Amino acid sequence: MARIGLGVFATLVAAVLLLSGCGDKQVKDEAMRAGRPADTFPAADEDYFKDMDGGVKLTADEVKGRNNWVVWTGGNDRFWDAITNSAFGNFDLLKTISSYKGDKDHKGLAYGRHNRFEQLGLMNEPCFVEPKDGSKDPYGLWLDQRVSSKDDPNCPDDPFANEKKYPGVKIGARGVTVPVGSYYGYPTGIVGLRLFPNPDFDEKAKKHWNAEKYYSDPDYYNDKNLVRPYRVGMACGFCHVGPSPTHPPADPENPKWENMSAVVGAQYFWIDRIFGWNYGKPGSPERKTSEQNYLIQLVHTSRPGALDTSLVSTDYINNPRTMNAVYELKARMEIAAKRGGVETLSGGELNNEFLPGTFDSATKQVMTPHVLKDGSDSVGVQGALNRVFINIGLFSEEWLRHFNPLFGGVPNTAIQIEVGRKNSSYWQATEAQTADLAAYFLNTDIQKGHKLADAPGGQKYITAAAPAAQLQLNRGKEVFAETCAGCHSSKQPPAPKEIDFKTCNGPNYLACWNQYWAWVKSDEFKAQMKEMVKAPDFLEGNYLSTDMRVPVTLLQTNACSPLATNAIAGNIWDNFSSTSYKQLPSVGTVKIHDPFTGEEKDYVMPAGGRGYTRVPSLVALWSTAPYLVNNTVGWPGGSFYAQQPLPPPPPNQKPYYPFNPLDPSVEERVKTFEVSIRQMLWPETRPHDKLLGDKGVFLIDRTSVGSYLKVPGGFLPGFLKPLLSPLHRWLPSIFGDGDLMVGPIPKDTPVNLISNTELYKDDATLAENLPRYVQLLQLLKKATHDLAQLPKNATDEEARKVFANLRKPLLDFSKCPDFEVNRGHYFGTSFTPETTALSDDDKEALIEFLKTF
């Protein structure tokens, strides 16, 4: 995460990490070591979630697919337990699922089941109650208590916890000091999180365990050797199940299954509070202390509903991205064959599984949607789904050998599909269920999207039948056809013969894109499109995207997302990105602003896959605001941790409403849509930077207070302990009193100035990177020496003066020096010559049509 400081581990002990990291040694997962083959993990077939997704009737295979999405963790409880230590205690899912209230001597958590949606944005599972204490849990933990089916006939037993039908993996202490349980785990009271007995919780760990200290004593819970009685596993549903836009819960803290959708995405998910379990209540000392932790400042840059999917397998770029809603997959597959969805595979990419009829073994080409924002996962639907499970910890025994989690400093190497198949029963079992998962996502009733007209009271927000209103709506359709449909409609006129989409991807892509872009701006295209949009079934089966990759030079959005490197050749997701992706040419040069002076600079985008953004779908647009890939357009003030006054609305327009993360009702979603879409169409009204806004610089995420990077001594790696004494003499301000501490990082420092420090260059060898290590150490020594000269209670201004000497070196080491997070996508405005600037009336007409999506 923060790489100046925590990255010192990588720079000081790179050789140690490299020697102990990825090598030729074969490892097996826990299931295979316990003698459990994949066929002993059959897919769950109970239709327990039948009321979810609008109560649509599913086939047997689709039921298995949804169960997989919501409860299958594939043994990743091991991974999330390990990450608790890697994150130095800031992240702890066992505390996330707790409702500890404390007592007269100890502070309780800022959240519990009673306010879990409000504070964390997580979905409470029905049929649970909040604990009054820890007495109901065998180990004294304050975990949600399940309502018995005997007490409430509407609360049947959780079928996935049936250890007779779904027997867990007996390994280590499981079956000795803790139960074996089910391989689906126990329900936790939070959708998408499952509880597993910890196989490391042996008699010694049991004697040492103290639940009260676990919640209240930092010396106890910050010990990296602490063994917890449970591990928490994560299903995909944790990040993808959210309140249904068309059947919202009356009380978000007490939803029913009918109030949830498994395809809409966790739009209210607060990753900063989940990552920082000790965030504290508003105004509390814990909240103030938490804000002084740079790691918390970093995850603050993820607005609700967004997170950095490269957080663990770091690429040295802070990339908060929204959780994808999964709509119209069938229509998406159809356009894959027509518009840029044909990808060429080679090498390990060919080891992926493919849906029937999507892969040509002769040409080695696959028809595929582009799921990730940068369009990098391009090996077919099943490959995209399987990659998700790995990214949340499937076969972590192997995955973690390919990078240094969270902090980097060593080369990322490709995880091989063939190795996973050979050495992981959980991997094999996951692949065996992928076809069921794909079947679930191909169900057209679930995939059609959530329309405002179908939501309770939604019709009143849509243009009435009056003649004047209909004229406005019809004009909105024409504006969409002329300005938006070139990217945001899967229904289009036939393309000219010279545009051959089947040969577009690869080194020829940019030339092909330029031909396409010229065509959609032509009068011929617009005339045909205006006729198509008038058809009464235009929106039926329309993915409202071409799924193509748009050059960031055209979008003018923040360059960091398309600069992600995890899927380039030889990197962690090498087997899950196509050869044609890896051959994409450079998009050219983008304009960025210096975050300290506002000076405009050129930045040359690299080739090899980077520089493009996949066109997002506009299905259910009314319910998915705020906008852009990072949810920055429409968020009040742009930043929820450093609130700024809202800019004035456009002339003669409605006042702005703040995004209400506490209320997923139809009314609040429409309010958020209103403010967000207007910031999109009137970009001058978007929040600008608090320091450089008068120079036209858009919002930059800056630290809200002076902060430090602190790692409790209990989490320092064991191999580093013998080095602490000489390090204390050399860098006393970092290694003092057994803890690691770097700072102060002054208030208003661009957060990404530090997080984007590139510790290891992907396009260089270890030998070529060694001089970089030396330079980084020299920079670290200079930084700590200069900061050490500050008085104990230095002011922000004093800290800024010292930190000013570090600006240029840190910018030079930045992997992405673009800091404006809410700029770009100026189509239909005066900010770009690429499209005709719309009048205010035309923008209003367009908004009326967009509501009907």
> Is residue 290 one of the residues assigned to a domain?
yes
Phi then psi for 751, rounded to 5 degrees? -55, -45
pTM here? 0.92
> Averaged over 190-215, what is the pLDDT?
97
- Percentage of the chain with pLDDT > 70? 91
Q: Which range among 637-651, 745-759, 781-795 shows the weakest confidence by mean pLDDT?
A: 637-651
> Is residue 570 one of the residues assigned to a domain?
no
Kindly tell me if the per-residue pLDDT of 87 is higher than 50.
Answer: yes
Q: Which amino acid is at 3?
A: R
> Is residue 282 one of the residues assigned to a domain?
yes
> Averaged over 543-564, what is the pLDDT?
96
How sure is the predictor about 724, in pLDDT bands with cuts at 50, 70 and 90? Answer: very low
What is the dihedral angle through the alpha carbons of 146, 148, 152, 157, rounded to the nearest 10 degrees? Answer: 90
> Is residue 571 one of the residues assigned to a domain?
no
> Averaged over 813-817, what is the pLDDT?
95
> Averaged over 762-788, what is the pLDDT?
81
Q: Which has the closest alpha carbon to 558: 817, 343, 340?
A: 817
Kindly tell me if the per-residue pLDDT of 728 is higher than 80.
Answer: no
Residues 6+ apart with CB under 8 A from 791: 798
Question: Facing residues of 186 across strands?
Answer: 195
pLDDT at 647: 53
> What are 233-272's pLDDT values in tens digits?
999 999 999 999 999 999 999 999 999 999 999 999 999 8
Kindly tell me if the per-residue pLDDT of 708 is higher than 90.
Answer: no
> Is residue 714 one of the residues assigned to a domain?
no
Return the number of other C-beta atoms located less than 10 Å from residue 727's C-beta: 17
Looking at residue 182, the DSSP 8-state letter turns out to be B
Q: Which range among 256-260, 319-323, 336-340, 421-425 shows the weakest confidence by mean pLDDT?
A: 336-340
pLDDT at 46: 98
> Is residue 281 one of the residues assigned to a domain?
yes
pLDDT at 519: 97
Q: Which has the closest alpha carbon to 236: 71, 428, 439?
A: 71
> Is residue 352 one of the residues assigned to a domain?
no
pLDDT at 658: 60
Kindly tell me if the per-residue pLDDT of 568 is higher than 90.
Answer: yes
Domain with 254, as residue range(s), is: 37-303
Distance from C-alpha of 293 to C-alpha of 280, rounded to nearest angstrom = 13
Q: Which amino acid is at 773?
A: Y
pLDDT at 780: 78
Per DSSP, which regions of 513-671 are E strands? 549-551, 589-593, 600-604, 612-614
pLDDT at 718: 53
Kindly tell me if the per-residue pLDDT of 12 is higher than 60.
Answer: no
How sure is the predictor about 544, in pLDDT bands with cuts at 50, 70 and 90? Answer: very high
> What are 273-308's pLDDT values in tens digits?
998 888 877 778 888 888 888 888 999 999 999 999
Residue 67 near residue 48, CB atoms below 8 Å: yes
Three-state SS for 783? helix
Mean residue pLDDT of the chain comes to 89
Q: Which range among 90-94, 372-376, 526-530, 787-791 shows the weakest confidence by mean pLDDT?
A: 787-791
> What are 637-682's pLDDT values in tens digits?
544 333 344 555 556 555 455 677 789 999 999 999 998 999 999 9
How many domains are there within the chain? 1
Q: What angle do CA 91, 97, 103 make, to 5 degrees?
A: 95
> What are 827-849's pLDDT values in tens digits?
999 999 999 999 999 999 999 99
What is the dihedral angle through the alpha carbons of 460, 464, 470, 475, rounded to the nearest 10 degrees? Answer: -20
How sure is the predictor about 824, in pLDDT bands with cuts at 50, 70 and 90? Answer: very high
pLDDT at 732: 42
Distance from C-alpha of 76 to C-alpha of 3, rounded to nearest angstrom = 26
Q: Which range among 24-28, 320-324, 549-553, 758-762 shows the weakest confidence by mean pLDDT?
A: 24-28
pLDDT at 650: 57
> Averaged over 44-59, what is the pLDDT?
97
> Is residue 242 one of the residues assigned to a domain?
yes
Distance from C-alpha of 34 to C-alpha of 422, rounded to nearest angstrom = 15
> What are 579-605's pLDDT values in tens digits?
999 999 999 999 999 999 999 999 999
Residue 579 near residue 420, CB atoms below 8 Å: no
pLDDT at 782: 81
Kindly tell me if the per-residue pLDDT of 727 is higher than 50.
Answer: no
Distance from C-alpha of 578 to C-alpha of 583, rounded to nearest angstrom = 9
